[in-house]
Amino acid sequence: MDVTIKFLGSNDAVPDVDNDTVSFVINDRTLVDTGWCAVHNLRRNGIDPLEIDHLLFTHFHQDHYLSLPSLLFYWVMNRKNLEGLRILGPAEEVHQVVQRTVEFLQLERFFPALSKPVIIPIQAGDTYEYGDFKLSTCASKHNVPALCYKYTHKPSAKQVSFTGDTAWHPPIVEHVRGSALLIHEASMGTQEVPPDNPYAHSSAMDAVRVAEAAEVDKLCLVHGRTAYIEDSLNIARQLFSKEVIWPHAGQVVHV
């Protein structure tokens, strides 16, 4: 297997006891969004939080970055220099959120000898390469600056895409075209919503529209409340010709 996605959670903004807000890890090294409890989620899934070398934020709503402070604190409590952690996210907000986290943790006062994380601001359209991966981005349609990420595993050319939070947004179709796995939010469940809905979120049907038009091999629905999962899966499986899942916390998907 070339790419392994470990889901730490798949719920929406207010998580359940046993399923955090959506967050996942690629090949045990790249964490995508933090959810509420990143350190606990990583450890219970056998991943050492100190081994995460890239942290990618789709956007800076709180449910996606809430446990950044505890992740950084775990590193400094283990006396690990934070420069080993590269934090990527929308250029408009990534500096502010990381800087405020550093101030909140009082790192200058309590850990003056340790370095700060490396911040890599990303604009829609940017690419970034590290190790075996090439990352490419497009804008998603949300009510704060937000990115859709596509990870290309260079040795195998396999692609995994994640929309982050978004309403229906046609440019995403082209961006994720041909992905082996599309992770698409479905916050609105089976409720039809217009692209300009005030929540700036998608339904399960919107996710299928993207998956079908982009000819992806597998659709993974995330970012919905537990009560929506069964109906969302049912309708998505009726509408989409290929496999659809809604991963549970701890589920591993091989691509």
Asked if 61 is part of the footprint of Zn ion (rule: CB under 5 A), the reply reads yes
How far CA 116 is from CA of 70, 74, 231, in Å, comes to: 15, 13, 44
Number of Cβ atoms within 10 Å of the Cβ of 209: 18
| Binding residue count for Zn ion, defined by CB under 5 A | 4
Q: Which stretch binds Zn ion (CB under 5 A): 6-14, 104-112, 123-131, 242-250?
A: 6-14
Asked if 33 is part of the footprint of Zn ion (rule: CB under 5 A), the reply reads no
Nearer to Zn ion, 61 or 141 (CB): 61
Asked if 20 is part of the footprint of Zn ion (rule: CB under 5 A), the reply reads no
Near Zn ion in 115-174, by CB under 5 A? 165
Q: Which stretch binds Zn ion (CB under 5 A): 8-16, 121-129, 147-155, 203-211?
A: 8-16
CB 33 to Zn ion: min, Å: 8
CB 164 to Zn ion: min, Å: 7
Nearer to Zn ion, 13 or 114 (CB): 13
Nearer to Zn ion, 180 or 229 (CB): 229
CB 120 to Zn ion: min, Å: 21
CB 69 to Zn ion: min, Å: 18
Which positions lie near Zn ion, rule CB under 5 A?
13, 61, 63, 165
